[in-house]
Each structure stands twice: as structure tokens, then as C-alpha cells.
């Protein structure tokens, strides 16, 4: 590792099982609709064993005047300071498999140096896969399954993905830059962005957190623990939203319109599913589709 006194990252511990572990990351400060990504981090800290193994020098990365960390005043003195921390933790899933989690505030400065430091860690611990996650606002209804945009440094890493746009330019963010630079250096990295209904983006939306956890499990093979509390919170939030929609005809009309748009998009995507990845269907796929068509037609005739 770099021993330069201006280096941004310090390795705190060298556990043997950090070598070859997947690295998850979530940085506060850019975009996280429904607090989906923050919910994943809170869930992991709640349910998984965790030990700090590396720490970043936030004095070089954070604009304190824009963040204003809390200072506590007690009667006649300053008694506490909530210093920001950007830390990598070694965690274990439900099957005792190790993985790494990097979390803390998104750097305000030195993005390229920060990315270089993370790449040093990736190389130092032989990290095979880096994965970031967040929630993004979308014009979708809460009454339908949540979609998710999956992006990666190699097409083979992208799974269960139906693109909603071909190309879009968004404000830069450190997590996105990290994934981009990892791809440039030939490393595997994945990003998960769950689609959160735009009208609930400012509230905590547990359904989005649960969707991200499903995606992380699928992308990494990690046996992340389930959480009954999250399921209970999802049911409560869904009930609260349904009650609010029922109380307003205007809101109900908006949700109905979103449902119709969602259903139309889904039907169109399913009709063109074989061509989603830009390839022609194989003979076997065409045969299977034709057999399904004939079976459905036969059932329809039998029901007459």
C-alpha cells in the first residue's frame, strides 16, 4: 500500500479472509431516493458482524462548511463532535462468508485520488467484484413490482435488466466515477439503481431497500440475512400510501395513469423479450414460443 503521508487511505487491519472478498459500497450525498441504499447499509450493520479494516482521511475529502458535522454543547462546554467517517468494514453474511462494505460521506474533493485509493485496496485485497447501490426516482407506481437498472463494466455482469433509456447524462458522482475507472482498468464492477416512485422519493421506502438486497444477493451470491422488521415496515408504509391515495382523487388519478403507463411498457417489453439484448432468437427459442402459442390457442378453443 502507498505510505505517502498525503495518502487518503490507511489500512487498519489485515484479516486473512479480507483477501478475495467482494466489496460493496454506498456513499451518502448524491442520490438515494427512498433512502434505499442507506436502508441496505443500516440492515447490514444490524444483521452482520463487522470490523473496520480501512479508513479514509476525511480531512482531505470533506467540505466541513457545506456538511456542518454536529457539535454538542452541554451547559458550559462542547462535549461531543460527530466526526464524519469513511470506512471499509469486513463483514460476514448468514453463511459466515466474508465481504467488505465501504460507506460514509461522498467526497467533496479529490475524487480521482479517492478512486485511486479504492483501486489500491481492490488490488491489495484481490477484490474480485465491486458493487454499488442506490435508489433513483422514476415515474412508476407503488402498486407494481419495483424495477432496477443494472449496469456494469462488462456486459456479462448485467442481469435482469430492461433498459428504460438508451443514453442519459447525469451530474457526476464519486460512486459512478469509481465504477467507470474500475472498468477502464479492466476490473469487474456492478451498479444497482432501484426505481423508486417519484412521489415517495423523500420518505423512507423499505420496499426499495428489499429490492436492492435481492439484487445484491443475485449479483454476488452473498447470503445476506433477511429482516422481519424491514418486511413489517414495508407493509406499514404501503398501507399508509394506499390510505393517502384513497383520500385524494387527484393523487389516485396520477397513480392510475402511472399504472397504465407501466403496464403498457411491460407488455411491450414482454412482446419483444427475445430481442431485448439485440440478438435474433435461436431456433429452440422460436420453437418454444410457437409451442406456447399453440398451447394457449388450444386452451382457448377448449374453453369455448
pLDDT at 167: 81
Least confident range of 75-84, 120-129, 290-299: 290-299
| C-alpha cell of residue 160 | 435482469
Question: What is the mean pLDDT of the segment spanning 202-211?
Answer: 96
pLDDT at 278: 44
Per-residue pLDDT band at 254 (split at 50, 70, 90): confident
| C-alpha cell of residue 68 | 456542518
First-to-last alpha carbon distance for the chain, in angstroms, is 74
Please name each of the domains of the chain with its CATH number.
9-226 (3.40.50.10900)
Question: How many CA atoms lie within 13 Å of 106's alpha carbon, on the beta-carbon side?
Answer: 18
Model confidence pLDDT, tens digit, residues 269-289: 666 554 444 444 444 444 444
pLDDT at 274: 44
Model confidence pLDDT, tens digit, residues 175-191: 999 999 999 999 999 99
Question: What is the mean pLDDT of the segment spanning 11-16?
Answer: 94
- Three-class DSSP category at 11: strand
Question: What is the mean pLDDT of the segment spanning 35-58?
Answer: 96
What distance in Å separates the CA atoms of residue 207 and residue 204, rounded to the nearest whole number? 9
Higher pLDDT, 15 or 275: 15
Q: Give 176's contacts (C-beta < 8 A, 6+ positions apart).
A: 170, 191
What distance in Å separates the CA atoms of residue 196 and residue 34, rounded to the nearest whole number? 7
12 touches 51 (CB < 8 A): no
Q: What pTM was computed for the model?
A: 0.84
- Three-class DSSP category at 161: coil
Helices then strands, counting H and E runs in the chain, come out as 8, 10
* Element housing 55 (H / E): strand 50-56
Amino acid at each position: 500500500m502507498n505510505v505517502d503521508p498525503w495518502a487518503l487511505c490507511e489500512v487498519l487491519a489485515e484479516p486473512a479472509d479480507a483477501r478475495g472478498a467482494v466489496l460493496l459500497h454506498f456513499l451518502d450525498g448524491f442520490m438515494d431516493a427512498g433512502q434505499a441504499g442507506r436502508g441496505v447499509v443500516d440492515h447490514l450493520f444490524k444483521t452482520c458482524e463487522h470490523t473496520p479494516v480501512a479508513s479514509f482521511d476525511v480531512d482531505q475529502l470533506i467540505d466541513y462548511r457545506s456538511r456542518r458535522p454536529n457539535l454538542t454543547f452541554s451547559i458550559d462546554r462542547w462535549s461531543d463532535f460527530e466526526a464524519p467517517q469513511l470506512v471499509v468494514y469486513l463483514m460476514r453474511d448468514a453463511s459466515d462468508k466474508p465481504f467488505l462494505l465501504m460507506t460514509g460521506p461522498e467526497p467533496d474533493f479529490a475524487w480521482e485520488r479517492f478512486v485511486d485509493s479504492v483501486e489500491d485496496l481492490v488490488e491489495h485485497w484481490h477484490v474480485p467484484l465491486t458493487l454499488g447501490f442506490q435508489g433513483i426516482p422514476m415515474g412508476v407506481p407503488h402498486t407494481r413490482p419495483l424495477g432496477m437498472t443494472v449496469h456494469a463494466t462488462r456486459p456479462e455482469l448485467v442481469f435482469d435488466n430492461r433498459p428504460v433509456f438508451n443514453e442519459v447524462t447525469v451530474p457526476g458522482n464519486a460512486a459512478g466515477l469509481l465504477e467507470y475507472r474500475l472498468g477502464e482498468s479492466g476490473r469487474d464492477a456492478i451498479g444497482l439503481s432501484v426505481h423508486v416512485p417519484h412521489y415517495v422519493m423523500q420518505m423512507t421506502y423499505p420496499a426499495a431497500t428489499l429490492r436492492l438486497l435481492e439484487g445484491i444477493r443475485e449479483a454476488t451470491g452473498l447470503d445476506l440475512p433477511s429482516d422481519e422488521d424491514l418486511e413489517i415496515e414495508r407493509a406499514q408504509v404501503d398501507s399508509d400510501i394506499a390510505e393517502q391515495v384513497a383520500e385524494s382523487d387527484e393523487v389516485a388519478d396520477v397513480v392510475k395513469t402511472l399504472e397504465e403507463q407501466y403496464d403498457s411498457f411491460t407488455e411491450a417489453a414482454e412482446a419483444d423479450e427475445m430481442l431485448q439484448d439485440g440478438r435474433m432468437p435461436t431456433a429452440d427459442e422460436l420453437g418454444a414460443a410457437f409451442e406456447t402459442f399453440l398451447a394457449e390457442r388450444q386452451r382457448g378453443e377448449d374453453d369455448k
